[in-house]
Amino acid sequence: MDTGSIAWMLTATLLVLFMTPGLAFFYGGLVRGRNVVSTLMYSFIAMGVASIVWVLWGYSLAFNDTGNGIVGGLEFIGLSNVSYTEGDGIPDLLFAAFQMTFAIITPALITGAFVERFKFTTYLIFLVLWVTLVYAPVCHWVWGGGWIGGLDGGALDFAGGTVVHINAGIAAVAAAYLVGKRRNPGVEPHNVPFVVLGAAILWIGWFGFNAGSQLAADGVAVQAFVNTNTAAAVAAVVWALLSFIHTGRISAVGVATGVVAGLVAVTPAAGWVGTMGSFAIGLGAGIICHYAVHFEILHKLGIDDSLEVFAVHGLGGIWGALATGIFAWGALTDTAGGLVNGNAGHFVANLIAVVVTLLYSGIVSFVILFVLDKIPGLGLRISAGDEDIGIDITAHGERGTVADGAD
Amino acid sequence: MDTGSIAWMLTATLLVLFMTPGLAFFYGGLVRGRNVVSTLMYSFIAMGVASIVWVLWGYSLAFNDTGNGIVGGLEFIGLSNVSYTEGDGIPDLLFAAFQMTFAIITPALITGAFVERFKFTTYLIFLVLWVTLVYAPVCHWVWGGGWIGGLDGGALDFAGGTVVHINAGIAAVAAAYLVGKRRNPGVEPHNVPFVVLGAAILWIGWFGFNAGSQLAADGVAVQAFVNTNTAAAVAAVVWALLSFIHTGRISAVGVATGVVAGLVAVTPAAGWVGTMGSFAIGLGAGIICHYAVHFEILHKLGIDDSLEVFAVHGLGGIWGALATGIFAWGALTDTAGGLVNGNAGHFVANLIAVVVTLLYSGIVSFVILFVLDKIPGLGLRISAGDEDIGIDITAHGERGTVADGAD
Amino acid sequence: MDTGSIAWMLTATLLVLFMTPGLAFFYGGLVRGRNVVSTLMYSFIAMGVASIVWVLWGYSLAFNDTGNGIVGGLEFIGLSNVSYTEGDGIPDLLFAAFQMTFAIITPALITGAFVERFKFTTYLIFLVLWVTLVYAPVCHWVWGGGWIGGLDGGALDFAGGTVVHINAGIAAVAAAYLVGKRRNPGVEPHNVPFVVLGAAILWIGWFGFNAGSQLAADGVAVQAFVNTNTAAAVAAVVWALLSFIHTGRISAVGVATGVVAGLVAVTPAAGWVGTMGSFAIGLGAGIICHYAVHFEILHKLGIDDSLEVFAVHGLGGIWGALATGIFAWGALTDTAGGLVNGNAGHFVANLIAVVVTLLYSGIVSFVILFVLDKIPGLGLRISAGDEDIGIDITAHGERGTVADGAD
Amino acid sequence: MLKIEAVVRPERTSTVLEALTAAGVKGYSYWNITGKGQQEGVEVFTGRGGHLSHRVALPKTMIMTVIPDEMKDAVIEAIIGSARTGEEGAIGDGKIFVSQIDDATRVSTGETGDSTVM
Amino acid sequence: MLKIEAVVRPERTSTVLEALTAAGVKGYSYWNITGKGQQEGVEVFTGRGGHLSHRVALPKTMIMTVIPDEMKDAVIEAIIGSARTGEEGAIGDGKIFVSQIDDATRVSTGETGDSTVM
Amino acid sequence: MLKIEAVVRPERTSTVLEALTAAGVKGYSYWNITGKGQQEGVEVFTGRGGHLSHRVALPKTMIMTVIPDEMKDAVIEAIIGSARTGEEGAIGDGKIFVSQIDDATRVSTGETGDSTVM
Ligand SMILES: Nc1ncnc2c1ncn2[C@@H]1O[C@H](COP(=O)(O)OP(=O)(O)O)[C@@H](O)[C@H]1O
Ligand SMILES: Nc1ncnc2c1ncn2[C@@H]1O[C@H](COP(=O)(O)OP(=O)(O)O)[C@@H](O)[C@H]1O
Ligand SMILES: Nc1ncnc2c1ncn2[C@@H]1O[C@H](COP(=O)(O)OP(=O)(O)O)[C@@H](O)[C@H]1O
């Protein structure tokens, strides 16, 4: 056991955990004022529900490798048999805690697709099912000893581009499709400072995500750290410039979205590319995600992915996965490197991982939600009246802010 | 000296320090809009005043063990003779800094009982007296070589259930009783996002509290880390479900309170129970604190503990202290374990610690406040007129937010 | 490589990075509501632009020591030749990342001088030029092997009092002078909770700044940690008391400003004075900066340094630099110590560093801004009409908060 | 000229504003208010989120528009048509108050009279 | 029908609303305003919190209620009784303005006249 | 007595208030509103900040003051003088509405009539 690595991984775990409230504020600032509590709670409650699922059975399903390549075993149920003192550099229990934070934020990311109208009680059940049936298996495939991690050529997903972002991005499409469009989406985000606060917390937290995924306080973690920041910075500035070119103004929400796009894209690559590789990844992410948002691609198909989860996390994640195959640097990957080094192995393996994840997560998420929609007493959508009044008061009995004279 | 443990403890110290502004926002969101600055400041200024008291004499009184069992000596006045290079795993000075953050947040917790009406200048003096006369001695008894730490059977307070939460909880009752009821408490919290932000910061910061109390980056810290999260998650979800059962709605403030209840209760147990022990502790905390709030127990006695400090920190702390005696796991405590292992020693010792702390802190806090109330020019309560106008403008010359056309 | 120090420095780097959004909220709360997005963005975008400049050439200019004493070389362009595995205790690349966070926040500090009226596009160019032409050279002089670091007697700047605060403070004067006064400054800060949030984040982040500047998880870092907190706490309480004496009220914004003043002043001294030295530094900072703000010194000269950057960072930094020369403790500096030990060497060297930085930064900042003002299509100031409407809507196409019935 | 003050459910605001424009209204102003009519209020969580309390008054939107006399019926009809939520008799849908305006002035031109609101 | 517009201290809002209800008022609307009367304003911290500045206008609450003509005196009395803070002559307690309402319509039913406000 | 309701650009609020005071107005109330006149609205970013949308109504300030009849012209002139931004015909500068107030009462003293607003 190395105390320095334990120290860093305790910190990294907290950083990733803090991302979920960061996301809560990011999303919360983007919706209408009457739905801010609800939007915050979609993310915040995931810290409760997904933690419990992870401790009880999620970690076991994802990381109790029994060699079948598809899904883990049950030996780590309740985190039993997960040592708090022994492990590979850090205690196994710390690894379980670190991975838990990923299982929390991934479903929270999805909620951006269905804010302002998704039934909260159904959502609680969705959380349990989705972490169990979608997140845990995909996580197992990539990191838990499953078949994607074992692909010839070597699928590279340093910190969860596939497991987290593509996975959430495509589930968001299914959810937005099934829940239907908002009745009245309003015009502007109701609280830009919340968006900036959320983006700042996400940016900071993401260093735990990416540099933490090295699971040690070493040089690769440092490289992942620098790459994370570089991609975020570049994508933010790219978005600012594109915003200025197209509109003559520089949207703060756009810059914040650029930050997230850069962070998403560098996630799978973080410890496997050099600084200038991350620069290129940030550049691509800024351009791709900006135009995906700019042209409202899903909205034109009639799918109200309200906060553009697919455009940012789905497309950003796909770009990142492919870019990892392009820019992977042999010295870091201990392989022949990416396309820039003339090796297509990683690129192809990552492409397979992307396609399979899109299919699996898209289909299973769709089925889960479809079934929940049909179960009497559940259903995905609140009533039209409740939606008009605002979900804060109708589902949570609260208003975001109270500022009338009588309070 | 182990650099890994130093690294973790520097971080843990910051995490606990960050809890106080987190608390400021939690409490600040719960009050009426005209008192938000004041409520923030009760907590924030504790970072100033309690830091100074701790550096000048508080640490010495708490940790300069001279063997009398009651109170520490004066050798560490001004942090002199506290080494920045030598110590037990970490430098003594780092231990002093870590402990300082506890001395900051404990009095800040009390302020929830008397928000919206307590005189700020009197509060500054109260801070000095309370840290000196209540916090430092109780801290000495439990952790500084005093008599509670030396009880037969072994009182177990891993991270401060007794020292921090019961201590603050009962002082809150005394303060609420003496300051009297709010003239016009209003109906709803004025800013739910602030409450969620505060809860998120508290949740994250509490890992420093609990896992930091191991004072090392090791396996026990990891177990404490996982326990902390598990109890918080379980209590949050329990509160959500009870909220739904009783009202058909799920209060965000309730969920946030559930988080805190779970964190409070797991505090004394953090490094001394297994994962499922913390699960049980979170479950109990969620239920106990929910019903304590639900039935407004203190309010029915005519005591306006405005933000339910006793219900959450007092009762949550008592449950946690007893639960530690129940669920303590021999392998972690290096003893015969808790009641579940058939050993009543810890339970009985903790019960004694609870009762004595309730008595000592309750009485001395009462006396301090009673005297402050009688001193001409001080007094606990602002004038009725100032209370009606709002304490922000009357005591701080500021308004929380300014949003009229002319600004 | 020491994993404990790597762990701490990864964390410290994040802490400093988090200070910039903290500053964004501090400044954002102080302006009028119609300019909050803009004020947030001045800081937030620096995380993008300055990161890019630093990675591409800034770090090389500052730290590629070629022995000329004036400016660094080009060997580290694009962070090439900066090892992620080798270095002095921590990898060189981690040092580069840590230093990057200083290059981000320093120009962001300047923006307090010209909020509510500075053209955002011109600002983006200013960021690039200022980091390149002012920050990188001054940083090189003090820390990168340049002439100030080599002064006889030994200039002491532990964490950037000169490089960061005096540098930004005098540039702020130049900027405020050139951009001119606000047309309508309003009366009160529009959002005090944002100010408190920002101050809390700055306080926490500053431990990364100061204790991180030791570049190791050791005893000196611990001493720097305690000093940082002590100075902040003392200055905050001093401000509270002066506020009460002069006005009968205790301003939350004032206390928050006191915190920052204490932190600024202790920055150059952090690892080189004892606990009581930091106490004295905090005391001086609280008094000096309070009266500088109280008497509105720059405003009386007709310079609208809107958020008092010079009073807090300039004067606080100068006091800190001189106080370091006074209170430096031989045991920590490995020299004869400061004036209190009868050695004037550090004091004189620091005085020289202060004067030169004031001159260099003041003049070059002035020239940069003067030129930008004259370039057609750029210019420093938005139009009077845009200023009246508010820069949020005119430059960013956004409003901070939207709360009308129709949203 | 007449002043129409309509208090409506906040969630109906944009619908009502569109209906006003469709009815030929050239200018309007609106703001958030809190109000009580026959409606019984709403249950909200109080304190630390353990139980509900009754809040008597509810968020509403006040829409104010000054119109020429002859548009009165059309405007009232437009508001009723867009603000009413359900079956006749549903409380909480709002109220419309009509009063006299003596004079109106357009700041930019100084002109007065009906032409300022047409 | 009459429209009563009462500007009161914000901290008195709930007291005044209760007094209105006690006086038989069935509906009211209120919102935050800023205002100035004889009152001299308040000192507030400006800038970085180093000194006070004078703010002329203060936060107030506007309470508006439309009532049948015959309730006028009772309503004004109720407001004065609940909004007045101290000895006669204390400035800042507020103002009450009375004006004519031609017509009122209940959105949910379409009914008009006094019955809409009783 | 007359009620003057002036809708002005928010950024002009303090200028207008000063002009009112200079014209002898003793009391006023103002609040934030959103409104639409001839003005065409503004482009704002929507969603994740990738493109602009049109927002029809804009933030404005409503200034309300009750004055003795004889001050009418002076007050309207003061508002126009301080609220107008540019060349004649610039839209968005605002509107001024005048109506009758039957009665005013000062809460603190109970006095009524013109003296309450002078
Ligand atoms: N007499 C009144 N005076 C002022 N405002 C009123 C009055 N009656 C109703 N309102 C406003 O209209 C809103 C909606 O009234 P509503 O509940 O629909 O009335 P009702 O149920 O009596 O038709 C109320 O919340 C209040 O803001
Ligand atoms: N003539 C007026 N026109 C509009 N509003 C007024 C007028 N006079 C007073 N007010 C409003 O009433 C509030 C309270 O007035 P107050 O200070 O009590 O007046 P006074 O001291 O003249 O009796 C003011 O802040 C303002 O909002
Ligand atoms: N007929 C009206 N009724 C109510 N408010 C109006 C009316 N016309 C204008 N306003 C208010 O005045 C504001 C400014 O109007 P403005 O755009 O200057 O009108 P115009 O361009 O027609 O002169 C509008 O935003 C609206 O709030």
| Mean pLDDT per 10-residue section of chain B, whose length is 407 residues | 96 98 98 97 98 98 96 97 95 98 98 98 98 98 95 93 98 98 95 98 98 98 98 98 98 98 98 97 98 96 98 98 97 92 96 98 98 97 96 97 78
Mean pLDDT, residues F81-99:
87
Enter the tokens of residue B19: 């809890």
| Ligand that lies nearest to the alpha carbon of residue F107, given by its number in the listed order | 2
Is residue C407's pLDDT more than 70? no
Distance, CA E66 to ligand 3 centroid (Å)? 25
> Which amino acid belongs to residue A327?
F
pLDDT tens digit string along A151-160?
A: 988 899 999 9
Percent of residues, chain C, with pLDDT higher than 90: 96
pLDDT tens digit string along C335-347?
A: 999 999 999 999 9
pLDDT tens digit string along C303-340?
A: 999 999 999 999 999 999 999 999 999 999 889 999 99
Is residue F108's pLDDT more than 60? yes
Enter the tokens of residue D89: 């008799």
pLDDT tens digit string along A115-137?
A: 999 999 999 999 999 999 999 99
Close Cβ partners of C359 (under 8 Å, ≥ 6 residues apart): none
Distance, CA D62 to ligand 2 centroid (Å)? 22
Q: Is the ipTM of this complex over 0.95?
A: yes
pLDDT tens digit string along C71-95?
A: 999 999 999 999 999 998 999 999 9
Mean pLDDT, residues A137-159:
95
Distance, CA D32 to ligand 1 centroid (Å)? 14
**Minimal CA–CA distance to A138: which of A150, A129, A146?**
A146
Is residue C294's pLDDT more than 90? yes
Looking at residue B406, its pLDDT comes to 67
**Minimal CA–CA distance to A44: which of B287, B248, B256, B25?**
B256
Best residue among E16, E28, E66 to mutate for probing ligand 1, ranked by most atoms within 8 Å of CB: E28
Looking at residue F40, its pLDDT comes to 77
Is residue C18's pLDDT more than 60? yes
Flag if E30 and D33 touch (Cβ within 8 Å): yes
**Minimal CA–CA distance to C277: which of C209, C230, C345?**
C230
State the Cα–Cα distance between residues B220 and A93, nearest whole angstrom.
Answer: 10
Most D CBs within 10 Å, among E108, E111, E112, to test the D interface: E108
Lowest-confidence region among C403-407, D53-57, E18-22: C403-407
Is B260:B312 a contact under the CB 8 Å cutoff?
yes
Mean pLDDT, residues C291-295:
97
* Phi and psi angles of residue C293, each rounded to the nearest 5 degrees, phi first: -75, -45
Instruction: Kindly state if the Cβ of D60 falls inside 6 Å of ligand 1.
Output: yes
Looking at residue A405, its pLDDT comes to 66
pLDDT tens digit string along C40-53?
A: 999 999 999 999 99
Is residue C1's pLDDT more than 90? no
Q: Residue B394: list chain E partners with CB under 8 A.
A: none
Nearest protein CA to atom 7 of ligand 2, as residue: F27
Is residue E89's pLDDT more than 90? no
Flag if E30 and A405 touch (Cβ within 8 Å): yes
Looking at residue D88, its pLDDT comes to 56
By CB neighbour count within 10 A (0-12 exposed, 13-18 middle, 19+ buried), where does A67 fall? exposed
Neighbour subunits, E (≥3 Cβ pairs < 8 A): A, B, C, D, F
Is residue F33's pLDDT more than 80? yes
Instruction: Kindly state if the Cβ of D94 falls inside 6 Å of ligand 1.
Output: yes
Mean pLDDT, residues E90-110:
93
pLDDT tens digit string along A22-63?
A: 999 999 999 999 999 999 999 999 999 999 999 999 999 999
Q: Which residue of C has its CA nearest to D16?
A: C406
Neighbour subunits, F (≥3 Cβ pairs < 8 A): A, B, C, D, E
Best residue among E25, E29, E112 to mutate for probing ligand 1, ranked by most atoms within 8 Å of CB: E29
Percent of residues, chain D, with pLDDT higher than 70: 97
Neighbour subunits, A (≥3 Cβ pairs < 8 A): B, C, D, E, F
Beta bridge partners of F59: F34
Looking at residue A407, its pLDDT comes to 64
Is residue A65's pLDDT more than 80? yes
Is residue E40's pLDDT more than 90? no
Nearest protein CA to atom 26 of ligand 1, as residue: D35
Q: Residue C406: list chain D partners with CB under 8 A.
A: 10, 13-14, 17, 30, 61
Q: Which residue of C has its CA nearest to E51?
A: C294
Cβ–Cβ contact E7 with F under 8 A = yes
Looking at residue A406, its pLDDT comes to 67
Flag if B251 and D45 touch (Cβ within 8 Å): yes
CA A42, A48, A54, A55: dihedral to nearest 10 degrees?
180
pLDDT tens digit string along A182-234?
A: 999 999 999 999 999 999 999 999 999 999 999 999 999 999 999 999 999 99
**Minimal CA–CA distance to A12: which of A214, A278, A168?**
A214
Measure E114 CA to nearest chain B CA, in Å: 32
Instruction: Kindly state if the Cβ of E91 falls inside 6 Å of ligand 2.
Output: yes
Best residue among D34, D36, D97 to mutate for probing ligand 1, ranked by most atoms within 8 Å of CB: D36
Flag if A388 and D45 touch (Cβ within 8 Å): no
DSSP A235: H
pLDDT tens digit string along A309-346?
A: 999 999 999 999 999 999 999 999 889 999 999 999 99
Please report, for residues C1, C190, C204, C264, C395, the alpha-carbon distance to residue C26 in angstroms, rounded to integers and kept in the order given. Answer: 37, 11, 14, 15, 21
Instruction: Kindly state if the Cβ of E38 falls inside 6 Å of ligand 1.
Output: no
Looking at residue C11, its pLDDT comes to 98
Is residue C157's pLDDT more than 60? yes
Instruction: Kindly state if the Cβ of F32 falls inside 6 Å of ligand 3.
Output: no
Looking at residue D118, its pLDDT comes to 82
Task: Please state the atom number of ligand 3 nearest to the C-alpha of residue F57.
Answer: 25
Distance, CA D65 to ligand 3 centroid (Å)? 9
Is residue C387's pLDDT more than 60? yes
pLDDT tens digit string along A71-107?
A: 999 999 999 999 999 998 999 999 999 999 999 999 9
Is residue A261's pLDDT more than 80? yes
Q: What pairing do the DSSP bridges indicate for beta strands D58-67 and D94-100? A: unpaired
Enter the tokens of residue B353: 């610690």
pLDDT tens digit string along D71-117?
A: 999 999 999 999 999 865 568 899 999 999 999 999 999 999 999 99
Instruction: Kindly state if the Cβ of D65 falls inside 6 Å of ligand 3.
Output: yes
**Three-class SS state of A2:** coil
Mean pLDDT, residues C124-139:
98
Cβ–Cβ contact C215 with B under 8 A = no
